Amino acid sequence: MSLDSSIERAIKLVTLRNALEYDGKAKLEAVISKTMASRPDLRSSIKTIIPEVKRVLNQINSLAISEQRVLLQEMSPTTDAKKHAEKISGLPPLYGAEIGNVVTRFPPEPNGYPHIGHAKAAIIDDEYARMYNGKLILRFDDTNPLTEKTEYYDAIKEGIQWLGIKPDLIKNASDDIFLLQDYGKKLVSSRGAYVCRCDQKTIQEYRSKGLECACRLDSNSYDEALTEMFTGSFDPNEATIRFRGDMRSPNTAMRDPTLFRIIEGNHPILGTSVRVYPTYDFAAPVEDSLDGVTHAMRTKEYELRNELYNAVLDRLHLRKPVVSEFSRLEFEGLPVSKRKIKPLIEDKSLTGWDDPRLPTLIALKRRGFLPEAIRKYVLSLGWTLSESKPPFESLEAFNRRIIDDYSVRLFFVREPVELKVANANPVNVCLKNHPSSNLGSRSVQVDDTVYIARADASKLSEGSIIRLMELYNVKITSVELADDKSRIFADVIGTELSHEIQKIQWVAYDDKMPYRIIVPKKLYSNEQFDRDSLEIASGYAESFVSTLQLYSSVQFVRYGFCRLDSDQQAIFTHR
Ligand SMILES: [Zn+2]
């Protein structure tokens, strides 16, 4: 039977809404009863409707959630698609946002590697663009040739890609440098800004005292000096273009802030052809407006600059995006500031931007964090304005939940101590690679000697009983612990499992593989770089580790999750 299109549409809508409520899988009974509730006229023909509901439901359940969302937005753009979109993410609705008409942007400066703070901003921008079926622009805020490098543009692009974010447009503020200069000139010509010839010290002093400098009152500052500024008559620091604000404003950001300065440097894209560069205070609002950005979100430290952002656009008669702030993300003890990180890389205290102690994306990736975990974590924080620094462990929980299912369980013993089991028969044990996931197994030949970790060994004495995991229970007969040669002797006393017996991991004598684990700790303690923030754990791992794919995640039992980093080395991810 073919249904009339209004009935099919009603079934589709009910099914889509239901599917989006239940992780993409609509429930047949619920859909039938809701369809009947919305269309009582169909009750009499329920028998013919049910097969149709089943057909629609199978079709819709086979779509990805993102496709279901788009479909619902297309079918019902005004009402529930929007309501639903706003509900599914941890983020609040955007002020004045309409489905299909939202443009957000992520505007990093390419002056370093992207870190967790960038991830938060980019994920929020991306999430809102998706939520409203809108667009995301990645715009490099590259108007300072002294700090920007091609390497950093690439690193940011890679970081964004790793996070699973696909911007609809990638551009540079520097692409528009002449346009920005033109707007700057226009602003000066219309007396909205002026060329200031004062030195930095004077500017600062006048700013703090709330005084206007002579340049502001001098009519030459608007025409002649402007021409000179762009024809190269001034040296760097000899002149700046300042906004004609209010030197007595309680908001110091309004006290004639700098909009352009002369910088002589080799810009990664423009080379040395340009000398007059806009500041972020000028480039950001103008670019946002010209790029069609509807919602400009930035971190809270810019809050005082919002007044300036709007004033610049007002004075240029440009459209104003909605500006809002969220709190910046930085973990306790893991600073993101380039001022703190760069010197440590330069003096080799850190091995590079991917040093596992850093909160850069490249380091988090190397350490075994997944982009999905970072996204879930960021969204769980929601739109907070609190300035507190969460502990790093709060991110770990999200990652653990994801990698737990597919991380092979293996044994690693740190600072190995030999344990000889006098009455042991050689045995070939089959060890499961995961307690519940289907990750296969491995077999290990054990004769009479295994290694255990020194931390475990040091707790043993004659008469102690322990269980060598998946093997047998032993009773310790003697313990020799010395720096040069340590040995423990024991006897097998059975195989029954008991809660009272401590279970420890081991590595068989003939299966040992020298192994090291890099353990990153907090980079900073008490506001100081901690020189002991990297620990190396050396020992033996099972040789099976060498069969695993490089960069995969494993869980060393009773030690923690690690990511294989090179042949005989892993990086500690978290417990
Ligand atoms: Zn001045």
Strands (E), 511-556: 512-520, 524-525, 528-529, 534-542, 553-556
Least Cα distance to 122 among 4, 299, 309 occurs for 299
Cα 279 to ligand 1 centre (Å): 17
Cα–Cα separations (whole angstroms), residue 57 to 51, 82, 294, 408, 511: 10, 22, 36, 37, 54
Ligand 1 centroid to Cα of residue 178, in Å, is 25
Sequence-distant (6+) residues with CB within 8 A of 393 are: 574
For residue 217, how far is its CA from the centre of ligand 1 (angstroms)?
9
Distance CA 162, CA 365 (A): 9
Instruction: Please tell me the distance between residue 306's alpha carbon and the centre of ligand 1 in angstroms.
Output: 24
For residue 358, what pLDDT is reported? Answer: 97
Rounded Cα distance between 307 and 246, Å, is: 12
- Centre of ligand 1 to C-alpha 288, Å, is 29
Collect all residues with Cβ–Cβ distance below 8 Å to 386 and sequence separation of at least 6.
Answer: 327
pLDDT in tens, 165-208: 999 999 999 999 999 999 999 999 999 999 999 999 999 999 99
Ligand 1 centre distance from Cα of residue 218 (Å): 9
Q: How many angstroms is it from 262 CA to the middle of ligand 1?
A: 15
Bridge pairing between strands 416-421 and 487-494: parallel
200 alpha carbon to ligand 1 midpoint, in Å?
9
Nearest-CA neighbor of 230 among 189, 172, 282? 189
Burial 338-368, CB ≥16 within 10 A → b, else e: beebeebbeeeebeebbbbbbbbbbbbbbbb
Nearest to 507 by CA among 466, 539, 551: 539
Q: Determine the distance separating the centroid of ligand 1 and the alpha carbon of 286, expressed in angstroms.
A: 24
Question: What tens digit of pLDDT does each residue of 455-475 get?
Answer: 999 999 999 999 999 999 999
CA of 315 to the centre of ligand 1 (A): 21
What's the CA-to-centroid distance between 267 and ligand 1, angstroms? 27
Q: How far, in Å, is the centroid of ligand 1 from the Cα of 201?
A: 11
Cα-to-chain-centroid distance, residue 350: 21
Cα of 285 from ligand 1 centre, angstroms: 24
Averaged pLDDT, 435-462: 97
Per-residue model confidence as pLDDT tens digits over 30-62: 999 888 888 888 888 888 888 889 999 999 999
Q: What does the DSSP 8-state code read for residue 319?
A: -
Mean pLDDT throughout 302-331?
95
pLDDT at 304: 92
- Here the tokens at position 192 are 């909205």
Query: How many angstroms separate the first and last alpha carbons of the chain?
Result: 59
Please tell me the predicted confidence (pLDDT) of residue 219. 94
215 CA distance to ligand 1 centroid (A)?
4
CB atoms within 10 A of CB 164: 12
Residue 446: pLDDT band with limits 50, 70, 90: very high
Residue listed under structure tokens 């407006």? 289
Q: What's the average model confidence in pLDDT over 108-131?
A: 96
What are the tens digits of pLDDT across the range 552-565?
999 999 999 999 99
Distance CA 378, CA 369 (A): 13
| Residue from 494, 479, 419, 493 nearest 451 by CA | 419
Instruction: Report the distance separating Cα 376 and Cα 296, nearest Å.
Output: 22
Sign (positive or negative) of CA dihedral 60, 61, 66, 68: positive
Q: In what order do the strands lie in the sheet with 534-542?
A: 408-410, 553-556, 560-566, 569-574, 512-520, 534-542, 412-414
What was the pLDDT predicted at 1?
A: 45
The pLDDT tens digits of the residues spanning 83-103 come to 655 555 678 888 889 999 999
Cα 214 to middle of ligand 1, angstroms = 6
Neighbours of ion ligand 1 (CB under 5 A): 196, 198, 213, 215
Sorted by sequence, the CB contacts under 8 Å of residue 543 that are 6+ apart come out as: 511, 512, 513
Summarised one tens digit per residue, pLDDT across range 237-288 is 999 999 999 999 999 999 999 999 999 999 999 999 999 999 999 999 999 9
Give the burial class of 545: count Cβ atoms within 10 A of its Cβ; 0-12 exposed, 13-18 middle, 19 or more buried: buried
Instruction: Give the Å distance between the CA of 257 and the centre of ligand 1.
Output: 11
What's phi and psi for 226, nearest 5 deg? -65, -45
- Length of the chain, in residues: 575
Residue with tokens 């959630």: 65
Tell me what the mean pLDDT of segment 386-410 comes to: 92
Whether the per-residue pLDDT at 230 is higher than 80: the answer is yes
Residue 528 token pair: 């100081």
The pLDDT value recorded for residue 49 is: 86
By the 8 A CB rule, do 144 and 263 touch?
A: yes
* 301 CA distance to ligand 1 middle (Å): 27
Read off the tokens for 334. 């893991």
Highest-pLDDT range among 13-27, 34-48, 104-118: 104-118
